[in-house]
Chains A and B, each alone.
Chain A
Amino acid sequence: MLEIKNVTKKYGSKTALNDVSFTVKDGEIFAFIGHNGAGKTTLIKSIVGIHDFDEGEIIINGKSIKEDPINCKKVMAYVPDNPELYENMKAIDYINFICDMYEVDQETRETNIKKYAKLFEIEENLNDPIISFSHGMKQKIALISALAHNPKILIMDEPFVGLDPKAVYDVKKVMNEMIKEKKIIFFSTHILDVAEKLCSEVAIIKNGKLIKTGNMKTIKGDKSLEKVFLELEG
């Protein structure tokens, strides 16, 4: 379970996150939506331990990211919006490096790397340096390295940006498989159609403050998510 409790984060005088609270239960796909600069990336970076936050608490499977960051990170995987990978490394070396940091055993990594590299059709490029990759290819490498250690919680920031349609379809397929295994997926997106079709839960953030959170069906009712979002933003 992922619990966000009254999280506040300030950059100088600007409040990036203002008393944000919600919970993501096991087996849920949670969409986090909001306009540019609303605070989505700030919250995601706080959850995965990249940013510190000023007030509140983030609990991952019963452990606080502030108190016990290492054990929290061990069960999570993070896919950033702009995959800034180690560009001078070969793709396979990068994935191996991430697996080593998560202490993934040889058998698990072999199974997962082969499975996802094949799925994302990037097997033939794994021996190439990342610097030669397009944005989409880097995104695929970030996804493979995130999935290679079987995370219980997958946190993604705009995961569909730069991916080709086939890869978007494959990512959605992987997300559905993970949910069947009672894992958590939390991601931010601007593609509201995908969020509407894929997610069971949703949170809408505006200027650092959560303005709506809960079950997708309850929140949108008979309307489309896009219409609800535009009404709330307006």
Chain B
Amino acid sequence: MKKIVSLIKVSLNHDMNIFKINSKNNKILTRYIIPILLAIYLMIMLGIYSNKLINILHPFKLEFIALTLFCLSISIISLIEGIYKSSSLLFNCKDDDLLFSLPIKKETILFTRIFKFYVFELIYNSLFILAPMIIYAVKLTPNWTYYISSIISILILPIVPIVLSCIIGYIITLISSKFKGKNLVQTIITTAFLLLILYISYNMDSFIDNITKNAQSINDIITKIYYPVGAYISLINDFKITTLITYILVHIVISVITIYVLGKVYFKINSNNKKVINKQSKNNNKNYIIKTNSKTISFIKKELNRFFSTPVFITNAGFGLVLFIIACILLSYKSDTFINTVMKTNTGTNINIDFIYNIFPIVTFGIITFTSFMTSITSSMISLESKSINILKSLPIKPIEIIIYKVLAALVIMLPCILIGDLIIFIKFKFKLTSIILLLISSIILPLLSELIGIYANLKYPKLDATNDTEIVKQSMSSTISVFSGIGIIGITIVLLYYLVKKGLSNNLVILITLGIFTLITILLLIILIKTCDKDFKNIE
């Protein structure tokens, strides 16, 4: 037991250092104030949403549905995120050699890593479900059993997604470890799993219909759809100690079985994984290519190599970009259904088919904004240098050049996908030339701004001592800042677009004004980066 506690303490102490700011004057306030502000900002936003939802459900006395929705959503998000986190959190750690050489059971090492995974999921889940739970409590003033059930649920809800992620992560690692192109295979299988989950989520209608027909109550429906949330809702509606004990026991049993079974194969799969990594070409190959490139091309090639050899990096950034293309295809393919629905629901108003067609450039602009700010590649690029940052620091290139090359590499990854999406929309909706030009400029400016924010956050919050890439891509301060600032920008953009459209401005003018604001922010951020990046880059240690 002492070993487990000691291992967990060391590993959490190391990993929880995500809030370390890159500053010589590393004061406690500076270190904690930004994460706390971000958490408050997110919780206020979620609080507002849940308040609205509870108000809508209040007349039907179905307020608990709001909690159900939040709990189900966060469980799906946890599962999706967990799938591409688990393979590298559990199986590709830099401290494998150290830990496996120590006199510790393999199951203990696995348990520590799963526990670390759990702690992070617990923090993220809490950020998302605390606000709705508080709003529910304020609005309905339930008795003490609500609080007990909610606290226990907060602790329990991450378990099933983590268990499923670990099992899927194990399968992915097992399959990919048999291939030479391990990273590529891992990325393909992970993406396939994620698309499968999305597909299932969108095609749940008949499954839910079937459950609804056979269920006796809404509680019953939720429990049949997803037991952990169903049990929680049962507890807050009708608290029974037996339900609570079963709820806890089921999750403990699931966790113990998973750790026991995975622990049996853990060492073997880790060793197999390393065998592939250590494989050198058997052919004596002296036909290497000595080739001169410009600094820019060479640097971008290096960055692309890093990107495409890091499965979690590809899935994290690439998934959003693939979804963008899918969204563009769906928008084109299902536009008629969408238009008909809008026309039907707005009969008698001044909304006509021309208005709807005219609004599509703004919709496209919104989708580009969403994709750009939800995809941050540069927020991990400096951290992923890890200790090889010293190579960069010793090279005769200016820090600002390094920053620009990294942003360019990110744009090389993003722009082709965004432009393909644009092209699909342009062909389908036959936009006017002015709209096309504005949207094409947007497709460059918005990703550029997003990547500048990412690199700025990573300069301020580098994480060079991560034990695996997932910690950098998914659990670092810089990636969290990029995601939250992205959500904020998307929210503000939607409000701005709505306000400008409502003012009766032409669509192109609406896009032009919004784009103008983004361009100004981009220029401003670029100036700040030019002025500060020398010092920030030097301070990275």
Residues of A within 8 A of B (CB): 45, 48-52, 69-71, 73-74, 76, 78, 80, 82, 84-86, 88-93, 96-106, 109-110, 113-114, 123-128, 131-132
Contacts and interface: CB of A to CB of B under 8 A. Distances in A.
A132 to B, nearest CB: 5
A182 B257 CA distance: 68
Interface in B383-397: 386-388, 390-391, 393-397
Nearest to A11: B541
Interface stretch (B78-86, B120-128, B293-301): B293-301
Contacts of B538: 52
A126 B281 CA distance: 10
Contacts of B388: 84-86
Given A78-B394, A123-B286, A124-B286, A109 B279 contact: no
Contact of B290 (A76, A80, A92, A125): A92
B397 A92 contact: no
28 contacts: A49-B394, A50-B394, A69-B396, A70-B397, A70-B398, A74-B396, A78-B394, A80-B391, A82-B387, A84-B388, A86-B302, A86-B391, A88-B305, A91-B288, A96-B292, A96-B293, A97-B301, A98-B391, A98-B395, A100-B298, A101-B396, A105-B292, A123-B286, A124-B284, A125-B280, A127-B281, A131-B278, A132-B277
Contacts of B280: 125, 128, 132
Given A92-B289, A96-B291, A109-B292, A49 B393 contact: yes
Q: Chain B contact residues: over half helix, strand or loop, or mixed?
A: loop
Nearest to A75: B396
Given A86-B388, A93-B305, A131 B277 contact: yes
Contact of B285 (A70, A113, A114, A124): A124
B292 A100 contact: yes
Interface string B306-327: 1001100000000000000000
Nearest to B398: A70
A48 B285 contact: no
Nearest to A47: B394
B283 to A, nearest CB: 9
Contacts of A113: 290
B337 interface: no
B404 to A, nearest CB: 14
Contact of B391 (A76, A85, A93, A99): A85
Given A97-B302, A127-B285, 9 more contacts: A84-B390, A84-B391, A86-B302, A88-B306, A89-B305, A101-B299, A109-B290, A114-B290, A132-B277
A50 B395 contact: no
A201 to B, nearest CB: 23
Nearest to A77: B394
A73 B399 CA distance: 13
Contact of B394 (A48, A88, A109, A131): A48
